[in-house]
Amino acid sequence: MNNNNFWIVKMPRYAMIVFVLFNTIAMLAYPGGSVDNKLSLKEEGSQVGYSFFNNFFSDLGQTVSHSGDSNWVSFIFFNISLCVIGLCFIMLFYKVGSIFNKYKTLSNIGTVCGILSGFCYIGVALTPSNVFLTWHIIFAEWIFRFLFISSLICSILIFKTKDFDNKYAFSFIVFSIMVLAYIFISQFYLRDVRIYPEDLSAHVISQKMIAFWILISIYIYSKGVGQYLLKKI
């Protein structure tokens, strides 16, 4: 129980703190520039610093900022935060998988998808968008696809499991709907910002909303699993 308690209950909370703290540091250290503003900081009209509404999270993970300046401080803090979240997801879904072993096939699918989403977070960290853009996008897109499948299956498993409070299943259903909506909006409604920069803010805001909702949902899920495990002691 102690080992499970760390990875299921404590680690998600630590990971959330690291993500918020390290991203805050990365944002403060980011030199400047965005997809639609690539002027040097020495040139008039360039964006100085990080804009919450005009910069993607991935801008923090670039080796060079959009302004052309070195971005190593942000690069290090942001990508460490992604690796921590990735490791958290891998271990969380691995440990939780054994709880639902009564429904082995369904549980295995949900577990594998959850673990793969964790590896995709690490994949995003290892492929800075200014160096490996194609792979960066692939890893980022599959985070949400894997999480959608996993969260939907988790909802079903919670409903099926006696003594597991169904309110956690409903929260995961809401999360699944939000992830699916984000996938459709980002891929079929909003246009490529490199061609249509006027869509940049909508892309950035929707990305930040879903990113923080993922953290909140994982926290809620870990809390629910922790309470379920306590009932079994």
How much is the average pLDDT of 105-122? 94
Residue 122's nearest CA partner among 90, 147, 74, 144 is 90
At 56, is the pLDDT very low, low, confident or very high (cuts 50, 70, 90)? very high
For residue 179, give the nearest of 135, 219, 212 by alpha carbon: 212
pLDDT band at 41 (very low <50, low <70, confident <90, very high): very low
Mean pLDDT, the chain, rounded, equals 86
Task: State how far the Cα of 37 lies from the Cα of 87, in Å rounded to an integer.
Answer: 34
What would the two tokens of residue 71 be? 């971005």
Which residue, among 227, 226, 230, has the nearest Cα to 92 in the 3D structure?
Answer: 226
65 φψ region: left (φ > 0), alpha (ψ -120 to 50), beta (else): beta
pLDDT of 113 higher than 70: yes
Predicted local distance difference test score (pLDDT) of residue 64 = 93
More confident residue, 43 or 184: 184
Model confidence at 38: pLDDT above 70: no
Q: What proportion of the chain, given as a percentage, has pLDDT over 90?
A: 42
pLDDT in tens, 78-100: 999 999 999 999 998 888 877 77
pLDDT classification of 45: cutoffs 50, 70, 90: low
| Beta carbons of 94 and 115 less than 8 angstroms apart | yes
Task: Please state, as a whole number, how many other Cβ atoms lie within 10 Å of the Cβ of residue 182.
Answer: 19
The whole-number pLDDT of residue 232 equals: 58
Whether residue 43 has pLDDT greater than 80: no
Joined together, the tokens standing for residue 202 give 């909508």
